[in-house]
Amino acid sequence: MPGVDELLARKAMDESPELRLLFHRLNNQLGIILAHAELLEAKATTDEVVRSRASQIVASALEAMSTAKEIRRHTAGKTSEP
């Protein structure tokens, strides 16, 4: 996994290093939420209420990741410095 300095050193064509780092951190945290929710979902074989709630967290984490990707796509080209 690249370090903070390496991420800041990389430059997307139209994305500031700071914004790139924020998206990276957000996706890491959402990935952790998703992994834990999937574990809860898999372990809740007998408790349907817990399984249903875990499934909702999985779906919400996936939706949040998709939303972050869309935000990144919409902000591309708008963050470049003059």
Report pLDDT for 1. Answer: 60
51's tokens: 């399984």
pLDDT at 14: 62
For residue range 1-11, list pLDDT tens digits in order: 666 555 444 54
Count of residues making up the chain: 82
Bridge partners (DSSP) listed for residue 15 = 12
Q: What is the pLDDT of residues 13-45, one digit of tens each?
A: 467 899 999 999 999 999 999 999 999 999 998
